[in-house]
Structure 1
Amino acid sequence: MANFDWKKLQNGSDIRGIALEGVADEPVNLTEEVANILGKAFVTWLKKQLGQPASNLTISVGRDSRLSGPKLMTAVMEGISTTGCRVYDFDMASTPAMFMSTISQKFACDAAIMLTASHLPFNRNGFKFFTAKGGLDKQDISEILKLASENVFETVATPGEIEKLDFISVYADSLVNKVREPVNDSQNYEQPLLGLKIIVDAGNGAGGFYADKVLKTLGADTKGSQFIDPDGRFPNHIPNPENEEAMASIRQAVLEHKADLGIIFDTDVDRAAVVTNSGKELNRNRLIALISAIVLQEHPGSTIVTDSITSDGLTEFIEQDLKGIHHRFKRGYKNVINESMRLNQEGQESWLAIETSGHAALKENYFLDDGAYLVTKLIINLALLRLEGKGLNDLITTLKEPQESQEYRLKINRQNFKECGEQVIEKLQEFASKQTDWQVVPNNYEGMRISCKSPQEKGWLLLRLSLHDPVMPLNIESNVEGGVSQIVNRIFDFFKPFEFLDLSAFKKDI
């Protein structure tokens, strides 16, 4: 491991790597040996944080359905065990459940590790780390990788015990009780969802438990649920609520089975989206609007923190219709969560941090991005609205949606891609300032957002740098037919002089 590049495994506040062969030009760098060392490095980091010897510590480990999961999980648990630390093997689990094990009265683990790479292809895998304070930050991951690169650890003659336990059932029970208490149906307290047909699409990830252990327990009819068996090949569709094919699949299932609600999870269940009985997909801006409506009923005037690409119609809905505050921040689920937490610390009440990808974290739930908890909040309101003869759609009837929207991803063909990207953004500000009908939107926290005010455009564009890749995403929305094309043609001429930009993404529209 002397020449191994540990830094390449860092992906923001997670560790991600290539765990299986089978994809051209993607050599394996997340091996069992690497996993074993990472387990030891995490214990070493944790001992320093808590001021405790390894023999006093307990770490839980879980995984999603990826094919590489079992071997990597065994390796990381063995690495942890060699330090004298006790290990709980939770086997198949969700990312939110792993965090909850650190605050569970029954288990109270000192830390947790989830093996997952979210919706990425089958050959990838990774690690998410938690303590009772929440998910680790970028700096924490850097420190753990530094310890791994040094590969100097204290081990013991008698390894710590590895004990296999069922925690996902404990976690599911907490969600069941979350529904029973507020619905409080005196006739069907144990099964308040009797009469509702709710189906789940787990995408062959780790979310299948929600159909059996939560919905069925609460009395819901779940016939028609699909792809709930774990399969790390992901043979049916990508487990991703942002994926068009995945959303079309759950939409078709809802309509075919005449369900009251359809639920779709990503691989490790930290993201979700839903489909109503009419087939309306509630993801991205619609999902943010829906949970904002619920949160602002419970906490009037609260600030809703979102990422940077949310629509103008969403801002109007939150601030004018719901009388809340919309704080549009940066992309990245940790960014929106940390910003919401910062606002609360400074005295500005913020009960929701949510990204358009479906990561939603509520103050009431430890600011944990938990797809199953989010869906449970929606189901509570579905059950209560049913008593009034209404549905979830009724909460967002006044949300104004754009006529058109499009994202273009422009590759930067330079090693110093961040510097190049910043140069483009700086020049765009100059370009926009010279346009009589374009206006730079104030309070930009990421990239450059421009309001396009001409009658032929009536929309906005946002150009920013990707968090990790040599790419500049360009998001455009318009409230008039043909408006996106108008904006694209106008900004294409701006991009032409930058030789390091790959403009092929515009090929079909120019």
Structure 2
Amino acid sequence: MKLGKKKDADASVDEKPAKKAVKKEKTSSSGPKLKRLNSVAVSQSLVVVLAGVIAVALLHFLVVQPSAKERFESLKVLEADAAALRLNQYFDQVQKSVNGLATQPHVVQALSSRNEIPATEVQLADSLPGIEAVHLFPYRDIPRTSSSEGLLGFSGLELARRAETGQRLFPDAFPRDNRWFVQMAAPVRNPTSNAVIGSLLIIFDSGQIQPLLQVVNSSLGGQLALVQTVSGSSRTVVSNGSGSGNAESRRLSNPDWTVAYTPAKSSAAPVDTVMIALLVGVPALIAAIIVWVLLGGAQKGLRQDVTALIQWAHKVFGGERVKLPTFRWDMVASTGEVLYRLSQVVDKRVAKAVETAKPRPAGSGKSGGGAAKGGDEPLFQDKDMPDIDMLDGDEDVLGFGSGDDTVFGSGDTPDVEEVALPQVELSQDIFRAYDIRGIVGETLTAEGVEVIGRAIGSEARERGVDSLCIGYDGRHSSPDLADALARGVMAAGCNVIHVGAVPTPVLYFATHELQTGSGVMVTGSHNPANYNGLKIMLGGETLSGEAIQKLYQRIQTGDFASGRGSQSTEDVRRAYLDRIVGDIAVAAPLKVVVDAGNGIAGELAPMLIEELGCEVIPLYCEVDGDFPNHHPDPGKPANLADLIARVESEGADIGLAFDGDGDRLGVVTNSGKIIWPDRLMMLFARDVVSRNPGADVLYDVKCSRRLAGVISEAGGRPIMWKTGHSLMKAKMKETGALLAGEMSGHIFFGERWYGFDDGLYSAARLLEILGIEDRHSDEVFEDFPDDISTPELNVEVTESSKFDIIKRLGESGDFGDGNISTIDGIRVDYADGWGLCRASNTTPVLVLRFEAETDEALERIKSVFRDQLQKAAPDLVADF
């Protein structure tokens, strides 16, 4: 591959020392660069160690310290409560003893004869421990002035008068000669006539109280003090120990007395910080060593590959024909292939240049000489060779910091295709608070769902999801919409697993069973037959709010990933039934009427209940997308009329109703009484909390005010939250709640189940509870309070106005002395009831509900809401 003549011997000899000098210079300069390359491993290891240190610090400040403070405050409260209990019990017992002494015959006799009073006082002084003085006063013979000697003072005389006049008596404390004393009094009555014949006053040494002020928790230490407050002035009667900081006080049964606990020290960490540092730091250090070793090995392999590549390139471009070596690093091998192709191009050009070259005259000038010299040199001289040490200066040679995934990266980042705005017009109104829903053929078409599917697939890939499940309900439009959805998802490069026509909870179950954590359910839920929609879960999160609006924005901007996803089919129905039957046992063979409302639950619900050992009487369990008998909405009393009649005629133990996609449950007792979901939640809460004391239980703003009390009495922690299945699931994850429920009938079990809303599983849990009862379902629910209430009431408005009405209602509404909550809409709680008005997130209506202790209170609250609604929206027909 040399161009022109060979160089003469002199030139060759003269050039060698220059080459050696260059090589020596490079060798001497390689040291610092090698150190920089070595620092890659060191710096990456330091990053791991630093991450461990940060983890220890965050764990300490975000977990250990808050936990210690919370534990410390709890211990303070317990200490103060325990001390108050001890003191109340002690003074109650002493007062009873004083009252008992006042009834003794010799005390009555002494007051009758009067001359025996001094002897009796002496005798009584030994009757109880700690007595410093005893005084007996005949009726209306209490001195008006105190004595300068002894312990009898004005407060003691006043206490004796109170006893004589039959007033309520409390112990009293007073100081004398730098000591504190406690005095107690009791009336002395004639045993025959019960008339007051005098009073008994006993003065005790306050030292008797000091043992009761011993701090129970020795690890905290501190001070307990009995404090008396008179006319706004507080003084410590007796104390034990020493403390600093804020005191925790409790009022005793004596209104003038409090006990105050002051801890000796501030909150102490319940977890050893050093131990935490070891638990986090040691693995971090080991990880850093592993990273350092791996990067060191990678560095060595890369250096060897690059050295071989440069040596090969030097030979090839120097005119030799050498085979391309085998490299371990893909990026080096790719570079070698490019250089190999480049060498072939150069060979062809050199050959062509040799053929066309002509001799030049000797005196043709510098140009010719320059050409000859250039032709004598190889294309790459030693001084032109890429120095391997150039790589040493690249601290990110392995691509860890540059974002380049060609070496160690995942390579899974989706290709994003910026496409033109979709031809399909999609209304933003169908992208609702916790799902996508519209009218089929109008706001929701197959073409539109395909575009939505592509947006969902793109969002899934962005979240690292490569497969999702698709299911659909029994509506006529659902199969076509599911197919369109799948096409869109696969066009984004995401795989689809079809689970077929199933209830929504079965789709959710499939995402767990098939370990995708992601799925889309095509369903119109409880809405009329001409509605349909999508419920979406990605990466374990049910999309709502901003996440759903993000899909709309992605469609509007054409921000789609592209690819060719695959599709497969899985039937999880049998696995779903087996999982529930394996978890739940119904002790008694109940007789159950099942009304599926011609929804998709009509296939599995009767099968599940039969396998649980119950007798099933099916009602409207044939899947029919026209819903010919009634709307599949168990939240409306009219839709439960046939179920009630069938339960009564068959003498069934219970009636169960499901909505169109099987994620909501309605219940009717043996007598035909509707059990609204908030009362059903009372039964579930009592059951779940009985096994999990202190568990959080969520309920939405539409539920009864009585539910919180039942949860608290059972030992749980009630939390009110917004309406919406996706919002409720997100709150369950946030709080770790084991149970949640909505007035609409969505019940979420986190105990023994997956935490999603499941009407079928909830029905099975209800049958499990009723199966161990020896009472009718009517009697079981009689255990719980039941105010007079309305079902959900709907006032029709427009989609665009419903939220504005709620906003105006909140800003200008006058609800009297009620407590207003704006968690979701406007809820106003009164002493005798409550009312709610909120905008539905699924249909163009305002949802109202009312509850009160009496019919009069119910009508009063309804009237207040009616008046305020008409002020906020004068054209509104508020006919509830």
TM over 0.5: yes
Amino acid at match of 1:319: S
- TM-aligned CA deviation for residue 72 of structure 1: 1.0
Match of 1:124 in 2: 531
> Aligned with 2:625: secondary structure?
coil
Structure 1 stretch displaced more, 350-359 or 244-253: 244-253
Match of 2:574 in 1: 169
Amino acid at match of 2:731: E
- Cα contact 2:434–2:725 (8 A) shared by 1: no
Distance 1:331 1:201 in 2: 25
- Cα contact 1:39–1:79 (8 A) shared by 2: yes
Match of 1:360 in 2: 747
Amino acid at match of 2:640: M
- Cα contact 2:722–2:823 (8 A) shared by 1: yes
Deviations 1:430-458 (A, max 9, x none): x34xx4xx3325x65234433445xxxx3
Amino acid at match of 1:125: N
Among 9, 15, 27, the alignment partner of 2:430 is: 9
Deviations 1:138-163 (A, max 9, x none): 2222222333334464555xx54433
Question: Does 1:228 pair with 2:602?
Answer: no
- Cα contact 1:293–1:395 (8 A) shared by 2: no
Question: Does 1:286 pair with 2:695?
Answer: no
- Cα contact 1:413–1:502 (8 A) shared by 2: no
> Aligned with 1:237: secondary structure?
coil
Distance 2:799 2:620 in 1: 41
Distance 2:557 2:580 in 1: 42
Mapping of residues 204-215 of structure 1, within 5 Å: 204-215=598-609
Among 417, 420, 439, the alignment partner of 2:818 is: 439
Match of 1:24 in 2: none
> Aligned with 2:634: secondary structure?
coil
Among 714, 722, 736, the alignment partner of 1:330 is: 722
Match of 2:733 in 1: 341
Question: Does 1:62 pair with 2:450?
Answer: no
- Cα contact 1:6–1:148 (8 A) shared by 2: no
Question: Does 1:449 pair with 2:841?
Answer: no
- Cα contact 2:829–2:835 (8 A) shared by 1: yes
Distance 1:77 1:361 in 2: 28
Among 751, 763, 766, the alignment partner of 1:378 is: 766
With over 3 angstroms needed to count, the CA separation of the structure-2 counterparts of 1:462 and 1:30, relative to structure 1, is closer
- Cα contact 2:526–2:660 (8 A) shared by 1: yes
| CA RMSD in angstroms, aligned pairs only | 2.8
Mapping of residues 254-293 of structure 1, within 5 Å: 254-293=647-686
> Aligned with 2:710: secondary structure?
helix
Deviations 1:206-264 (A, max 9, x none): 11233443122233221x21111211100011111202122222222222222222211
- TM-aligned CA deviation for residue 119 of structure 1: 0.9
- Cα contact 2:474–2:501 (8 A) shared by 1: yes
With over 3 angstroms needed to count, the CA separation of the structure-2 counterparts of 1:503 and 1:415, relative to structure 1, is closer
Distance 1:137 1:489 in 2: 34
Distance 1:264 1:383 in 2: 19
- TM-aligned CA deviation for residue 410 of structure 1: 5.2
> Aligned with 1:262: secondary structure?
strand
Deviations 1:28-74 (A, max 9, x none): 12212122222222221111101x6xxxx332211001110111112
- TM-aligned CA deviation for residue 407 of structure 1: 5.5
Mapping of residues 355-434 of structure 1, within 5 Å: 355-364=742-751, 365-385=753-773, 389-405=774-790, 409=794, 418-428=803-813, 431-432=814-815
Amino acid at match of 1:118: S
- TM-aligned CA deviation for residue 266 of structure 1: 0.7
With over 3 angstroms needed to count, the CA separation of the structure-2 counterparts of 1:501 and 1:288, relative to structure 1, is farther
Distance 1:256 1:469 in 2: 35
Among 458, 464, 485, the alignment partner of 2:859 is: 485
Name whichever structure is richer in helix by fraction.
2
Amino acid at match of 2:878: A
Distance 1:15 1:230 in 2: 23
> Aligned with 1:501: secondary structure?
coil
Distance 2:798 2:481 in 1: 34
- TM-aligned CA deviation for residue 9 of structure 1: 2.4
Structure 1 stretch displaced more, 62-71 or 37-46: 37-46
Amino acid at match of 2:537: F
Match of 1:244 in 2: 637
> What runs of 5+ residues in structure 2 fail to find an aligned partner?
1-421
Among 501, 506, 510, the alignment partner of 2:874 is: 501
Distance 1:179 1:199 in 2: 19
Among 436, 439, 458, the alignment partner of 1:18 is: 439
The count of aligned residue pairs is: 458
- TM-aligned CA deviation for residue 201 of structure 1: 1.1
> Aligned with 2:537: secondary structure?
strand
- TM-aligned CA deviation for residue 328 of structure 1: 2.4
Match of 2:18 in 1: none
- TM-aligned CA deviation for residue 94 of structure 1: 1.4
- Cα contact 1:206–1:268 (8 A) shared by 2: yes
With over 3 angstroms needed to count, the CA separation of the structure-2 counterparts of 1:207 and 1:468, relative to structure 1, is closer
With over 3 angstroms needed to count, the CA separation of the structure-2 counterparts of 1:468 and 1:370, relative to structure 1, is closer
> Aligned with 1:339: secondary structure?
helix
Among 668, 690, 694, the alignment partner of 1:301 is: 694
With over 3 angstroms needed to count, the CA separation of the structure-2 counterparts of 1:394 and 1:303, relative to structure 1, is farther
> Aligned with 2:512: secondary structure?
coil
Match of 2:553 in 1: 146
- Cα contact 2:739–2:748 (8 A) shared by 1: yes
Structure 1 stretch displaced more, 413-422 or 300-309: 413-422
Among 479, 482, 487, the alignment partner of 1:78 is: 487
Larger Rg: 2
Amino acid at match of 1:90: V
TM-score, length of structure 2 as denominator length = 0.48
Distance 2:819 2:811 in 1: 12
- Cα contact 1:412–1:501 (8 A) shared by 2: no
Distance 2:573 2:864 in 1: 52
Of all paired residues, the percent bearing the same amino acid is 27
Amino acid at match of 1:378: L
Structure 1 stretch displaced more, 31-40 or 409-418: 409-418
Amino acid at match of 1:91: G
- TM-aligned CA deviation for residue 124 of structure 1: 1.1
- TM-aligned CA deviation for residue 402 of structure 1: 1.9
> Aligned with 1:140: secondary structure?
helix
- TM-aligned CA deviation for residue 108 of structure 1: 2.5
Distance 1:163 1:413 in 2: 41
Question: Does 1:136 pair with 2:543?
Answer: yes
Distance 1:142 1:496 in 2: 32
Distance 1:258 1:406 in 2: 25
Mapping of residues 23-34 of structure 1, within 5 Å: 28-34=442-448
> Aligned with 1:502: secondary structure?
coil
Amino acid at match of 2:479: P
Amino acid at match of 2:746: H
